[in-house]
Structure 1
Amino acid sequence: MIRHNLTDLSSVAAIGADTVIDVRAPSEFAQDHIEGAINLPVLSDAERAQVGTIYTQQSAFLARKIGAALVAANAARHLQGPLADKQGDWQPLIYCWRGGQRSGAFATILDQVGWRVHLIEGGYRSYRRQITAMLYDTDLPHRICVIDGGTGTAKTALLYHLQSAGAQVLDLEGLAAHRGSLFGGLAQQQPSQKMFESRLAAALAQLDPARITWVEGESSKIGARMIPPAIWAAMHAAPRIEVSAPLAARAAFLATEYADLTHDTETLMALIAQLRPYHAATVLEEWHALAHRGAWQELAAQLMQVHYDPRYKKSQARAAPAQQHITLRSLDAQTLGRTARDLIEGFR
């Protein structure tokens, strides 16, 4: 059995284990976990609560005795289930909350089977300290360049074209599972703040700090998730490329990009209603009417003209001047692909 101290997040990959196993309870795993880990709990949420109650109300010895029996039973299920096909050369990396009894007990069983077992010293808490150090306590070493622009200027799509052309990209909206505006919720639920940060840290660990990393301009929050301070500061200090396009092109792009909402009129109407604090009732009635008629491009154009563009202009008045302005007459794939290649060439 080999114990490892994490010096940074790349240490997890450097260990070279075949499978990362989180043995904490399902609710702990759902809140956050090492990116790519699987959950093989040695105690369920109910069992963990039961053992904790016995520990505080009866005795530590009885709690350990009952806990050991539960861990052994759950370990047997894992050996007969998810781990049944693992061969002798398989190497797992195991962790629990603080690298103590749960991971130690499971690791001992697997070690006795004959597998080369790795443990994270300090468990999840050690991992979380590395996340905090990277995203809260130190300056980001990566060379960031920000793609900015008003609503509907295809910034996310341009980011994908940059990635397809070989550039490094940090997709904040993809990692946050949200498109960044009131209408930006996706079908999947947003991750917790800690899970969002784990995804960010894992993505950053895969990027070369010496190369430019392209990021889409965002507000400080994406949906309900806050952009951590190190990334936010790097974005503010980074060169900014501002993209603009005619209103008609933007409206056509949004009508396609938000097809999930155009196919769910009830949800769209409810989202429009949330703009009531900002606009007169007559304006909202007009937008509801457009949604009811399926006039998606006209609705998108009005939302941008009346709601989003004024707010974007106000925010840009406080921002540093853009290093470069790009005007796109069309937002089709060919135009975005050509623009991505030009940007890569211009920022070598």
Structure 2
Amino acid sequence: MIRQTLTSLSSIAEIDADMIIDVRAPSEFAHDHVPGAVNLPVLSDAERVEVGTIYSQQSPFLARKVGAAMVAANAARHLRGPLADLLGDWQPLVYCWRGGQRSGSFATILDQVGWRVHLIEGGYRSYRKTVSQMLYDTPLAHRLMIVDGHTGTGKTALLHHLRDQGAQILDLENLAGHRGSLFGAQKDGQPSQKMFETQLASALQILDPNKLTWVEGESSKIGARVIPPSVWARMGAAPRIEITAPIAARAAFLATAYADLTHDTETFIGLIHRLRHYHAKDTILDWQGLATVGDWQSLAKQLMVEHYDPRYAKSQARAVQRPEQMALAALDHQSLSDTARQLIAEFN
């Protein structure tokens, strides 16, 4: 039996599905998909273009006939491949772009096999609408506490210590695939804006709105990804804890936290070059020289004092709320763990 499932985030989460199957083409799946879904396309990207061309240039009937043959062939390939060893009690949740022919055809085949199949009503398009409503149109109900501070004060690491000790966190940088500065890119790159929003909505869905959620202070953009309005507005109204630490401790922390970049001197030098519009040529050359010889702590210190700290001070001067400060003498594992414990005791 094929069952229609409502497209709200909670309805999908409540379905006792063993697998969420996105039958759209690989490029559609790569751009955005329901969290946890696997891609079993019933039309490849090339096949989708071919069917669309036949539809517009020849006839809808011929397009449907050619498309049906392609869907049948691809469904057979999936049944002989990733679905081959599944037993009779397996339950999939299937969707396509708008809950139409692609997902309906595949769901019918799975149903005829004898599996209990669920379909997302309205497909991905309806699911995307619920994500947009949550992040763009509805005030966020979650209680947030912002962990703020200068570059190098271990905010992300502190957030993870809070999580490890039982606090709720929202790790925006992890969701955005970026550490939030010129030097913050990660090797796997960033998800699309829609995929970032999908992951963000999914993360918010499992958090208890009545329980405090800790979030790192960010600008409105993390790399190229924009924090959606509902979340950004809630962050702007949330209370803040500002972490402070000596410059030497911050420099030492950054040299370790950005070890992936310090192992690629050529890339680091290229990133420094991108700061040439903000600083004198001699300053850029000095920083590149420190990178060349591997003096990472001196480089980190100069970048903070001459580039990041002035910008942070400027942003803080515009802030409406004055954050409560917490001074740390060191930013090692034990210090951050103790700080997390103290914050939970004081605010949770």
Task: Give the alignment's TM-score, normalised by structure 1.
Answer: 0.99
Match of 1:83 in 2: 83
Does 2:5 match 1:4?
A: yes
Q: CA deviation at 1:189?
A: 1.2
Give the CA RMSD over aligned residues: 0.6
Structure 2 residue 207 is the aligned partner of structure 1 residue 207: yes
Q: Is the aligned partner of 1:347 residue 2:347? A: yes
Q: Give the match for residue 180 of structure 1.
A: 180
Q: Aligned residue for 1:108? A: 108
The alpha-carbon deviation at position 322 of structure 1 amounts to 3.3
Aligned partner of residue 312 in structure 1, secondary structure: helix
Q: Spell out, residue by residue over 1:283-338, the C-alpha distance to the aligned partner (whole angstroms, 9 max, x if none).
A: 00100111111100000000000000000000000113334100101001111011
| Runs of 4+ deviating beyond 2 Å | 320-323
1:279 match: secondary structure: coil
User: Shift of residue 135 of structure 1?
Assistant: 0.3
Tell me which residue corresponds to 1:149: 149
Q: 2: CA distance between counterparts of 1:321 and 1:280?
A: 34
Matches within 5 A, 1:283-302: 283-302=283-302
Alignment of 1:22-101 (within 5 A): 22-101=22-101
Q: Secondary structure at the match of 1:215?
A: strand
Q: Secondary structure at the match of 2:76?
A: helix
Instruction: Give the match's secondary structure for 1:135.
Output: helix
AA of the residue aligned to 1:63:
A
Secondary structure of the structure 2 residue equivalent to 1:278: coil
Q: Which residue of 2 aligns with 1:193?
A: 193
Per-residue CA deviations over 1:99-146 (Å, capped at 9, x if unaligned) read 000000000000000000000110001100110011000001100100
SS in 2 for 1:148: strand
SS at match of 2:87: coil
User: Could you tell me whether the CA contact under 8 Å between 1:32 and 1:198 is conserved in 2?
Assistant: yes
TM-score, normalised to structure 2, is 0.99
Counterpart-to-counterpart distance in 2, 1:303 and 1:280:
13
* Residue equivalent to 2:315: 315
Q: How does 1:166-315 map to 2 (within 5 A)?
A: 166-315=166-315
Give the secondary-structure state (helix, strand or coil) at the position aligned to 2:286.
Answer: helix
**What code does the residue aligned with 1:28 have?**
E
Aligned partner of residue 215 in structure 2, secondary structure: strand
On the 8 A contact 1:241/1:322 being kept in 2, the answer is no
One-letter amino acid matched to 1:274: R
> Are 2:39 and 1:18 equivalent residues in the alignment?
no
Q: Do the aligned residues in 1 keep the contact of 2:6 with 2:12 (CA within 8 Å)? A: no
Which residue is 2:119 aligned to?
119
Task: For 2:309 and 2:12, locate their aligned partners in 1 and report how far apart those are by CA, in whole Å.
Answer: 44
Q: What percentage of aligned pairs have identical amino acids?
A: 69
Cα drift, residue 5 of structure 1 = 1.9
Whether the 8 Å contact between 2:178 and 2:223 is mirrored in structure 1 is yes
Distance in 2, Cα, partners of 1:330 & 1:71: 60
CA distance in 2, matches of 1:323, 1:154: 17
CA deviation map 1:135-189 (0-9, x unaligned): 0000011001000001000000000000001000000000111000000001111
1:28 deviates by 0.2
2:90 counterpart letter in structure 1: W
> How many residue pairs were aligned?
347
Aligned to 1:134: 134
- CA deviations 1:237-265 (Å, max 9, x no partner) are 00100011000000000000000111000
The answer (yes or no) to whether the contact 1:147–1:215 under 8 Å persists in 2 is yes
The letter of the residue matching 2:59 is: S
In 1, the alpha carbon distance for the partners of 2:194 and 2:262 equals 32
Deviation at 1:15, TM superposition (A): 1.5
Q: What residue identity is the alignment partner of 2:6?
A: N
Contact residue 97 and residue 124 of structure 1 kept, 8 A = yes
* Equivalent AA in structure 2 for residue 93 of structure 1: L
Asked whether the 8 Å contact 1:242–1:322 carries over to 2, the reply is: no
Cα distance, 1:54 vs. partner?
Answer: 0.2
CA distance in 1, matches of 2:281, 2:170: 39
For 2:144 and 2:219, how far apart are their aligned partners in 1? 16
CA distance in 1, matches of 2:173, 2:294: 27
